[in-house]
Amino acid sequence: MADKEFRSGFICFVGRPNTGKSTLTNAMVGSKIAITSSRPQTTRHTIRGIVHRDHAQLILVDTPGLHRPRTLLGQRLNDLVRDTYSEVDVIALCIPADEKIGPGDRWIVEQIKQMAPKTTVLGVVTKIDKVSRDQVAHQLMAVSQLLGPEAEVVPVSAVKGEQVEVLVDVIASKMPEGPAFYPDGEITDEPEETLMAELIREAALEGVRDELPHSLAVVIEEIQPYEANEDMLEVHALLYVERPSQKAIIIGKNGSRLKEVGTNARKQIEHILGTRIYLNLHVKVAKDWQRDPKQLGKLGF
């Protein structure tokens, strides 16, 4: 068989919250780099996962979900999405096999058509392990109708690893021919501080009531060698919330919840860095930071 031309390019997964975008990113990259959560708006940064295959390199750009903005932060996140849409080679719309297509999906398709009329769009039916084959077939037809006849639609289960490689190949076939952008073995170009902050944020949001997601920002203050053990790193992180009541939720009774957050985040960070860390977490109230341009800037938005 003749060698296939090497292809490389950028792709972003879009879709309503909890449609399996981050899980799919992690499955394709083969490592946990995008935070996965059932809460809307948990992804704040354009985390790029890099998929290395013999015939292609795909750079996955993970955007915050598009939504109708209610705050200055929301507006800034939407602007980020707009910029991303127009700069990628492929946009893949994720729709779960177990949910009917709704107005939210149609709205996203409209936005894509307006913002990136020339970009190749692909349909991905996620979570196919949750439904029967008939239901999968039905959803494939529905997504095909939503996107139009020229768009390919691929069914996958990221959790079970079904069809993930098929999706990789389909995306690769839509990419321009060209060399790899990143050296082999690199899985993300995000600074380690960003990944750490995202993982701490994910651990803090786990199992918390709905009032928190938008109101939580994490900033890594410093990273230094740990005095008590030079083979370890000491990481200081600040968790910012908007109200004292939210601070109480994160800390929990006698600090029990914050301790649990620290333990969960530490395991994930150690896995990514490949080194043991001592994680020091503090919670601060920054009143209404999402609406204050000065504070938004300070927190990295």
Mean pLDDT, residues 252-256 taken together: 91
Residue 66 marked ligand-binding: yes
Residue 133 marked ligand-binding: no
Nearest-angstrom CA–CA distance, 87 and 212: 31
| Strands of the sheet with 47-53, listed across from one edge | 47-53, 56-62, 7-14, 90-96, 120-126, 153-155
Residue 49 marked ligand-binding: no
The torsion defined by the Cα of 105, 111, 112 and 113, in degrees rounded to 10, comes to 110
Which range has the worst mean pLDDT, 83-87, 217-221, 280-284?
83-87
Contact 76, 296 (CB under 8 A): yes
Helix and strand numbers, DSSP H then E, in the chain: 9, 9
Please report the pLDDT score of residue 29 as a whole number. Answer: 85
Helix H or strand E segment including 222: strand 217-225
| DSSP helix/strand/coil, 37 | coil
Residue 262 marked ligand-binding: no
Contact 278, 265 (CB under 8 A): no
pLDDT at residue 212 greater than cutoff 70: no
Please report the pLDDT score of residue 1 as a whole number. Answer: 39
Domain boundaries, the chain: 7-173, 192-298
Residue 96 marked ligand-binding: no
Nearest-angstrom CA–CA distance, 5 and 233: 43
Residue 17 marked ligand-binding: yes
- Closest Cα partner for 208 from 256, 257, 265, 262? 257
Residue 105 marked ligand-binding: no
Which range has the worst mean pLDDT, 53-62, 182-191, 220-229?
182-191
Residue 293 marked ligand-binding: no
Mean pLDDT, residues 219-243 taken together: 84
Residue 46 marked ligand-binding: no
Nearest-angstrom CA–CA distance, 202 and 33: 11
pLDDT at residue 50 greater than cutoff 50: yes
Please report the pLDDT score of residue 41 as a whole number. Answer: 47
Q: Identify the band that residue 156 occupies on the pLDDT scale cut at 50, 70 and 90.
A: very high
Contact 246, 257 (CB under 8 A): no
Pick the CATH number of 192-298 from 3.30.200.20, 3.30.300.20, 3.30.465.10, 2.40.110.10: 3.30.300.20
Residue 18 marked ligand-binding: yes
Q: Estimate the share of the chain in helix, then strand, then coil, as percent rounded to the nearest 5.
A: 40, 25, 35
40: exposed, middle or buried (Cβ count in 10 Å: 0-12, 13-18, 19+): middle
Which tens digits make up the pLDDT trace of 260-281? 999 999 988 887 777 888 999 9
Please report the pLDDT score of residue 43 as a whole number. Answer: 46
Residue 16 marked ligand-binding: yes
Residue 127 marked ligand-binding: yes
Residue 130 marked ligand-binding: no
Which tens digits make up the pLDDT trace of 5-28? 899 998 988 888 778 887 888 888
Instruction: Report the mean per-residue pLDDT for the chain.
Output: 82
Q: pTM of this prediction?
A: 0.60
Enter the tokens of residue 90.
């492929």
Homologous superfamily of 7-173 in CATH? P-loop containing nucleotide triphosphate hydrolases (3.40.50.300)
Please report the pLDDT score of residue 107 as a whole number. Answer: 87
**Who's near 114: CB < 8 A, 6+ residues apart?**
none
Task: Please name every residue paired with 92 in a beta bridge, in sequence order, or none if there are none.
Answer: 13, 122
pLDDT at residue 209 greater than cutoff 70: no
